[in-house]
Structure 1
């Protein structure tokens, strides 16, 4: 019989196989990517990998190369911003973790434009509201109100 094991041990082993022993640094970078590059760039760029030169005596890996995947049209613009991004990454980690940024331009899908929100029948909303007013638990009433509005908006989608 096998005893339950911690999930973190399995995740650590899988991450080390796929990303390498510096997966913690990469995971921290992914977690803070929006803060480092800003919301606009974070939606269109992705850090792909970090490689380091051979440094057997160093405790912390330094002077790494960060590869960033981004749309071809954004590559030139991001080139001008890459020095600032490198400085922000190094400031976040507190040492020179990244010394070079390599851009990997790719053809990517154009983000889908959100459809305009559908107008819901006022009478139907009032009917839901009056039915929910009898519920004493306000949290439940709010959730049911939101659920009813969502159902009305997507009634034609079926």
Structure 2
């Protein structure tokens, strides 16, 4: 008798992709990875200025039309690059998934940027050394500004050394 053993934590993305694969194939969403892997397929230079909108399948299930939203300045260039983009997409899938591109000009939302790291607190020993170094500064405003700058530098360097 064999029993299934838990293999630890697994990424939910991999599990959901595996769980929905059959449904995606049945409903015509087999090429859904064109949306998630767009930057890998067309390259990062093109991916930041154009995004796939939808894939309309051909009559025989192959050779569909991929609708792509593209920024105005890139539209003409992408029109000239259409054969290469189609070739990249089809070689990615291993069969003739796309035969045509339909370009829609419009704004592209900027990709989400990771939130900046919030610096922690500086080490009290470093702050004591900073105060000792600033003891010779006579102007109180200058000393306060230098201390603020020093605290920020120490906090950032401490954050970097911890990660």
* Match in the other structure for 1:35: 40
From the superposition, tell whether residues 91 and 104 of structure 1 become closer, same or farther in structure 2 (CA, over 3 Å). same
The answer for unaligned runs of 5 or more in structure 2 is 1-15, 128-154
Would you say 1:50 and 2:55 are equivalent positions? yes
Shift of 1:107: 3.6
Is structure 2 residue 24 aligned with structure 1 residue 24?
A: no
| Residue 54 (structure 1) shift | 2.6
What is the total number of aligned residue pairs between the two structures?
A: 116
Q: 1:110 to 1:28 in 2, by over 3 A?
A: closer
* Length-normalised TM-score, structure 1: 0.54
Distance of 1:126 and 1:83 partners within structure 2: 58
Partner of 2:124 in structure 1? 127
TM-score by length of 2: 0.53
Superposition pairs for residues 1-158 of structure 1, below 5 Å? 21-25=27-31, 27-55=32-60, 61-108=61-108, 125-127=122-124, 149=159
> Distance in 2 between the 1:69 and 1:38 partners?
16
